[in-house]
Structure 1
Amino acid sequence: MSTDSTQAAQRILDLRTELDGHNQRYYVLDQPSIPDAEYDRLFRELQALEAAHPDLISVDSPTQRVGGAPRAGFTEVRHEVPMLSLGNAFAEADMLDFDRRVREGLADDLPPGDLFGGGAEVEYVCEPKLDGLAVSLLYVEGQLVRGATRGDGSTGEDISANVRTVRNIPLKLQGSGWPAVLEVRGEVFMAKAGFDALNQRQLESGAKPFANPRNAAAGSLRQLDSKITASRPLAFCCYGIGQVEGELPDTQLGILQTLQTWGVPISLELYLARGIDACQAYYQRIGAKREALPYEIDGVVFKVNNLAWQRELGFRAREPRWAIAHKFPAMEELTELLDVEFQVGRTGAVTPVARLKPVKVAGVMVANATLHNMDEVARLGLMIGDTVIIRRAGDVIPQVVQVVLERRPLDARAVEIPASCPVCGSHVERTQLVKRSKGKESFSAGSIYRCVGRLACQAQLKQAIIHFVSRRAMDIDGLGEKSVEQLVDLGLVQSPADLYRLQFDQLVGLEGFAELSSNNLLAAIDNSRKPELARFIYALGIPDVGEETAKVLARSLASLERIKRALPEVLTYLPDVGLEVAHEIHEFFSDAHNQNVIEQLGQVLDIQGQGELGAEFAACTTLAGLLDKLHIPSLGPTGAKTLASKFGESLPKLLEADWLDLRQTLSEKPANAVREFFSVAEQRERALKIEAQLREFGMHWESEKRVVAGLPLAGQTWVLTGTLELMSREHAKAKLEALGAKVAGSVSAKTHCVVAGPGAGSKLAKASELGLRVLDEAGFVEQLQALGVTP
């Protein structure tokens, strides 16, 4: 071998070792140590070297995960050790019975119970039951030589080319000491995020989306074209072994931990429980965090830890006596779609709702399910009378995930959107989507149908009032949904402003309103007459404007009048306000009906927190920035700066410039673009109008700059967790935000401090793990006082 070939062979070996290590850290340990770009550079270098030296390519190279040419079909694989299924437990009694049978089967081996009659306890290895496809991976001398499906337990299909594309399956075992022959068994699955992304790609390409992650994983792994498998976000988790020629530990847990040292991924939730009570507690813990797990599970698997005891217990029929799967209540069930009705929401959206033949799903009786919108109805191909699959996950609203076409009755009826609002009879129209880019707008049909009745529609009025009085909005205690519906139905409230005109005589005697509750409600309404500007903006229910955006608007523009009149381009100078949201805000305040409602509210409310423009926004703009926001074709930020400098930071001078002035400043294409853009009178007027408003608000580059008073916690991220006893979480959040801090809902390495009250759980644990600063409530109060803030 020449010197060049020797060097190439060594570099290829080094790259493979390095990339294998990065794959282990990224896909198995979830602890990447290099950026994706650096990984890609190393990978491309390996690809180039192998292309130049094809004789040095080996099957365990990271480059061989991309898949090969399609095959005609799968060959059969006979399992030397059968891949048996597990028995199932569906209730606590089933688990108690399983443990009793295990202890009876091991009566001669178990130590005696205690003096108080307690029986001897068995150690069980516990782990979540992944909802995927069982596979077998055969390693010979540490090399992956074959992958197979479980099949019927005795015979499966050879899917070697496909399992090689699964990123966290080691093509070569790490370390040393592995048996000469080692069969690893586990589950190939698809994480929830990967499944959602895959379905989005399916929809964008016009392909049919998958019904659930398990179907997606199974379908991906059984592709004859392994390149398709390689493109799917699959992962593997080991749960045991099959055929072995060599030495391994004598416990289930010991084997799994040893496999992990060789690079085989195992469950991060693996747990050793002593006795059935500990098993039941683990089942409850995993059930509680089921929705937070990044993958789907359908139960918990329990296995006797001692391998000698496993052998002694043996098997019955086609399942081991030493293991069981305690299943969670079913999350999917079949039922019949009886009808589709339409509900009207706060913004007038007319939403289809499935009325179902009642069926129990995940332990809850379900009679209704969301259909989202008519595009979803079309995607499902749904007809009234169909048999459908209903899915319910945790507290998520049940949804229809699939139609069973072979059960469709002959009299099935199409689902049609009503022409008139089912509540008020107003016209129902389909919304339009507006896409804005480089100063241009394009329109397409939206997925939402909307009633045009606004507050004349009782459904919209009720939802608008419910939002208006909610705790995070105007915070009017005593006005629940039923009370709001009653007031609207009786005609006592036809606008949010009518709440402030309610009298005692109108309330007392209504359902739920005695003398005390009537007085309490009137007092709560009266106490809300002086809302902070941010609360008022949020209470208006502007589309896409949540609490945080409302706070940004109030803190930045500091005036309802400025917010009402702000042009979209001006709003985009504010943090976290994009062009689409800016247009939503501008269109809301431009609407005559909304103007009337706000005017009425202005007569009964005294809005607080208004004053001068936020100091950081005084003189915050430049002419170059304004030109950039106009999205003039072919004019980038650098060209905009050149123009602004050339014309003395004066927009009028720029507008008066002739072709020669422009051509001396810019190259031909952007100069032509600027000239053509401003030759349109409407666009000239828009630019001047934006500049005039920037000047009026004090944001213009010629406006007076103001000193920004530094907030002591500016730039810091805090997290609140647990129960605070001296103040509410909302109160604590408001104090922190007033000091300049951002209050986040999750803990990360960027978190500055965590305030932990009694009952703090995973967030406190993560903060401790990351070594973050943690304060109890007393320490938090001391911190506030030290910063001059009254708790």
Structure 2
Amino acid sequence: MTESVRKEIEELRREIERHNRLYYVEARPEISDLEFDKLLKRLEKLEAEHPEYDSPDSPSHKVGGEPIEGFQTVEHILPMLSIDNVYNTYAVREFDVRVRKYLQRDEPLDYTVEYKIDGVALSATYENGHFARAVTRGDGRRGDDITHNARTIGGIPLRLQTDSPPAVLEIRGEAFIANSDFARLRAEQKGRGETPFANPRNATAGALKLLDPKESARRRVRFLAHGTGYTEGIWFETHVDFLRTLRELGVPATPDVEAFRGIDAALEHGQQLIENLHALDFEVDGLVIKANSFDLRDELGATSKSPRWLIAYKWEKYEAVTQIEDITIQVGKTGTLTPVAHLKPVEIAGTTVSRASLHNRDELERLGVRIGDQVVVEKAGKIIPHVVRVQEDERTGKEQEFEFPERCPECGGDVVQDEGGVYVRCINPNCPAQLRESLRFFASRQAMDIEGLGIKRIEQLIGAGFLTSFADVYRLKDKQEELLELERLGEKSLENLLAGIEESRSRPMWRLLTALNIRHVGASNAQVLADRFGTLDEIAKQSEEALAEVHEIGPVIAKSVYEFFQADVGKGIIDELREAGLNFGTPVERQEDGPKPLEGKTIVVTGSLTKFTRDEVKEFIHRLGGKASSSVSKKTDYLVAGEKAGSKLDKAKELGVTVISEQDLFEMADGAPPVDEAGESEA
């Protein structure tokens, strides 16, 4: 009997830890909060009845413990320094110049870009895989020991998910309360007759300083890691490697972090992160740009105040509370159904805001928005406004839930949700809304830049039957007499419109590729494809695999491009535009390909190189027929080890991957066989 109880306890612990990981690390919960609570209560009951099977690492101890009398001050082994702040892209580029000058390097560096969470800085230390203590940042040298409350924080597991933990791993990150939890917390406070908290950050800071951990747990504080402090028995080559390792250990990290070569690419990705702020359920007050390489961080070091290898690109947060008067659906150029909140006009950062996108059905459900709700609307850095959260404590009961339509509101056609995605789309190819929005994008400045073909004119021409496709734009010159019969289209206006259309015929091919409205293909990706293949026809010939190998394209964009050019609809569009005489590009002159000694081989490069930059070595590998990969696995054929090769070299040796030098790789162009680091030819 006791053996069966022990097994049930162990199984419950594994199951609860799995659900904690799914919820906090992978953001894809499988069960409801109620079902999770039932599992936890069953575990607590069994442990209480059989204390001999209790363990300090049990997930039942995430919320528990006795109140303490006060806080102890603890000295950080490595100081938790502050970050220098800048407020414009010019200052970010100055940071890059400063870093490269300090390192005496002319070539671009690899930077990571991540959200700067507006929470409370926290350090969590694990000893031999077990959670040991948590300390606030304090003055950077010394902080308060809040271990009793940190045990209740979602995202700080009581033990790391590994059988070979490091001796010491100090993880630094941000404690915060999610906007959705904060809305519920305010509503509960108002229900008890208390004054609601002003903002999530203050509520988080207060939760960490409560003497009773059960009270702290009620605020549902979470944790996202973004850095490391003191460690023993573990080493990381790059920041991206570090974050990947954390997730494998069961610790959630700041989302959407990627590495980019050069500050311009980093800033471009930063702009994408800013545009996606609406999808986050936590407060953000900037971006953090970091040198990806840990070796370079060591070289750069720190001033007495802050590290030299990172910078915070911050913005002012402008917020206001207003009411949602209505919610409507807008159908976009790819058929996407986008809910739009119509707001009671409110001034934010000097402009009047009356509309805000709610983006998609999932976002609408996450926010829990109802018509009539009071909501917090934010313009971070004066960008497009978005709804941050609902003021649930302000609800009167008169608010109305919005029902997302089951059919397209424009044409009545069927709608489907993207497989594995969040967007709901109208699949009727003849939907008038899709035609209207597609033509608007086709004529926009970022695409074909057709002067005089704005949305009002497009709607007029569609309504009169002149526009049913992109190619129809270039057929308007043959219908001038009929066009002059339209209202508000005189001879001069028509002359200007036709001149703008004629001028667009010679636009660069990448603009035409952008204008085709292929999913996931924006102006920057279109330019990459144009530079690589030269002509639209050459792009259309490529396999999905060949497109995916192009730097900055990848499998998602490649699949979308390939499917467009293989589909009958796509082929028809291209044939019509070819007949219209648009610029399809110029063939790229290339040298003979030569031998392919790395045909079918997967190569990983690690450490500092002397003959190549990172982009050059990838191109070199590609030219020899190989595939450049970023991670070592059993499928890796060669690891090119430069100076200061780190964990990837260790992993390659562990897996038996052939390790070669940069010189070996260079000589492969002449067909020389690779030589492993012991000097023995693979042949």
Answer yes or no: is the 8 Å Cα contact 2:414–2:428 preserved in 1: no
Aligned to 1:155: 142
Answer yes or no: is the 8 Å Cα contact 1:723–1:758 preserved in 2: no
Aligned to 1:603: none
Change (3 A) 1:546 1:731: farther
Q: In 1, distance between residues paired with 2:188 and 2:63?
A: 19
Answer yes or no: is the 8 Å Cα contact 2:377–2:386 preserved in 1: no
Answer yes or no: is the 8 Å Cα contact 2:113–2:258 preserved in 1: yes
* 2:161 counterpart of 1:164: no
1:75 to 59, 62, 72: 72
Aligned to 1:124: 111
Counterparts in 2 of 1:515-530, with a 5 A limit?
none
Counterparts in 2 of 1:435-446, with a 5 A limit?
none
Change (3 A) 1:551 1:58: closer
1:203-259 per-residue CA deviation (whole Å, 9 max, x = no partner) reads 222222222222222222222221122122322111111111212123222222212
Answer yes or no: is the 8 Å Cα contact 1:76–1:155 preserved in 2: yes
1:290 to 267, 277, 285: 277
* 2:171 counterpart of 1:184: yes
**May I ask how many residue pairs the two structures share in their alignment?**
421
C-alpha root-mean-square deviation of aligned residues, in Å?
A: 5.0
Answer yes or no: is the 8 Å Cα contact 1:67–1:228 preserved in 2: no
SS, match of residue 93 in structure 1: helix
Match for 1:270: what amino acid?
V
Q: CA deviation at 1:23?
A: 1.1
Aligned to 1:308: 295
1:18-54 per-residue CA deviation (whole Å, 9 max, x = no partner) reads 2212211122112334555554443232111101022
Q: CA deviation at 1:84?
A: 0.7
Answer yes or no: is the 8 Å Cα contact 2:62–2:153 preserved in 1: yes
Answer yes or no: is the 8 Å Cα contact 2:416–2:426 preserved in 1: no
Change (3 A) 1:16 1:723: same
Aligned to 1:758: 517
Answer yes or no: is the 8 Å Cα contact 1:135–1:148 preserved in 2: yes
1:494-540 per-residue CA deviation (whole Å, 9 max, x = no partner) reads xxxxxxxxxxxxxxxxxxxxxxxxxxxxxxxxxxxxxxxxxxxxxxx
Q: CA deviation at 1:74?
A: 1.8
Aligned to 1:97: 94
Aligned to 1:327: 314
SS, match of residue 331 in structure 1: strand
Q: In 2, distance between residues paired with 1:546 and 1:45?
A: 37
* 2:399 counterpart of 1:727: no
Q: CA deviation at 1:397?
A: 8.7
1:57-111 per-residue CA deviation (whole Å, 9 max, x = no partner) reads 222111112233433322212111111111112111211111111111111xx4x
* 2:46 counterpart of 1:49: yes
Answer yes or no: is the 8 Å Cα contact 1:332–1:391 preserved in 2: yes
Answer yes or no: is the 8 Å Cα contact 2:318–2:378 preserved in 1: yes
* 2:28 counterpart of 1:31: yes
Change (3 A) 1:230 1:125: same
Change (3 A) 1:723 1:322: farther
Q: In 1, distance between residues paired with 2:37 and 2:69?
A: 32
Q: In 1, distance between residues paired with 2:109 and 2:240?
A: 14
SS, match of residue 319 in structure 1: coil
Q: In 2, distance between residues paired with 1:549 and 1:181?
A: 53
Aligned to 1:20: 17
Change (3 A) 1:369 1:285: closer
Answer yes or no: is the 8 Å Cα contact 1:89–1:325 preserved in 2: yes
Aligned to 2:182: 195
Q: In 2, distance between residues paired with 1:239 and 1:717?
A: 33
Match for 2:125: what amino acid?
L
Change (3 A) 1:367 1:62: same
Answer yes or no: is the 8 Å Cα contact 1:140–1:180 preserved in 2: yes
Aligned to 1:252: 239
Change (3 A) 1:49 1:397: closer
Q: In 1, distance between residues paired with 2:75 and 2:31?
A: 41
Match for 2:49: what amino acid?
A
Change (3 A) 1:249 1:731: closer
* 2:83 counterpart of 1:86: yes
Answer yes or no: is the 8 Å Cα contact 1:137–1:185 preserved in 2: yes
* 2:70 counterpart of 1:365: no
Q: In 1, distance between residues paired with 2:64 and 2:97?
A: 48
SS, match of residue 248 in structure 1: coil
Aligned to 2:208: 221
Answer yes or no: is the 8 Å Cα contact 1:368–1:398 preserved in 2: no
Answer yes or no: is the 8 Å Cα contact 1:125–1:302 preserved in 2: yes
Answer yes or no: is the 8 Å Cα contact 1:724–1:757 preserved in 2: no
SS, match of residue 350 in structure 2: strand
* 2:337 counterpart of 1:317: no
Change (3 A) 1:721 1:296: farther
Match for 2:55: what amino acid?
S
Q: In 2, distance between residues paired with 1:269 and 1:722?
A: 30
Match for 2:517: what amino acid?
P
Change (3 A) 1:36 1:399: closer
Unaligned runs of 5+ in 1: 111-118, 334-339, 346-350, 356-360, 371-378, 380-388, 403-431, 436-445, 448-542, 556-710, 734-755, 783-791
Change (3 A) 1:547 1:265: closer
1:704-738 per-residue CA deviation (whole Å, 9 max, x = no partner) reads xxxxxxx9x889668338998983239999xxxxx
Aligned to 1:173: 160
* 2:236 counterpart of 1:239: no
Q: CA deviation at 1:546?
A: 9.1
Counterparts in 2 of 1:528-567, with a 5 A limit?
none
Match for 2:433: what amino acid?
S
Q: In 1, distance between residues paired with 2:18 and 2:402?
A: 45
Aligned to 2:596: none
Answer yes or no: is the 8 Å Cα contact 2:169–2:229 preserved in 1: yes
Q: In 1, distance between residues paired with 2:563 and 2:352?
A: 46
Q: In 2, distance between residues paired with 1:781 and 1:308?
A: 48
Q: CA deviation at 1:6?
A: 4.3
Counterparts in 2 of 1:693-704, with a 5 A limit?
none
Match for 1:365: what amino acid?
G
Aligned to 1:65: 62
Bigger Rg, structure 1 or 2: 1
Change (3 A) 1:715 1:209: same
With CA pairs under 8 Å and 6+ residues apart, which has the higher RCO, 1 or 2? 2
Change (3 A) 1:317 1:715: closer
Counterparts in 2 of 1:413-432, with a 5 A limit?
none
Answer yes or no: is the 8 Å Cα contact 2:179–2:282 preserved in 1: yes
Aligned to 2:263: 276
Worse overlay, 77-86 or 306-315: 306-315
Change (3 A) 1:15 1:256: same
Q: In 2, distance between residues paired with 1:215 and 1:83?
A: 21
Change (3 A) 1:390 1:72: farther
1:106 to 99, 103, 106: 103
Q: In 1, distance between residues paired with 2:40 and 2:388?
A: 42
Q: In 2, distance between residues paired with 1:243 and 1:297?
A: 26
Aligned to 1:688: none
SS, match of residue 14 in structure 1: helix
Answer yes or no: is the 8 Å Cα contact 2:179–2:388 preserved in 1: no
SS, match of residue 316 in structure 1: coil
Identity of aligned residues (%): 34
Q: In 1, distance between residues paired with 2:556 and 2:284?
A: 28
Change (3 A) 1:30 1:762: farther
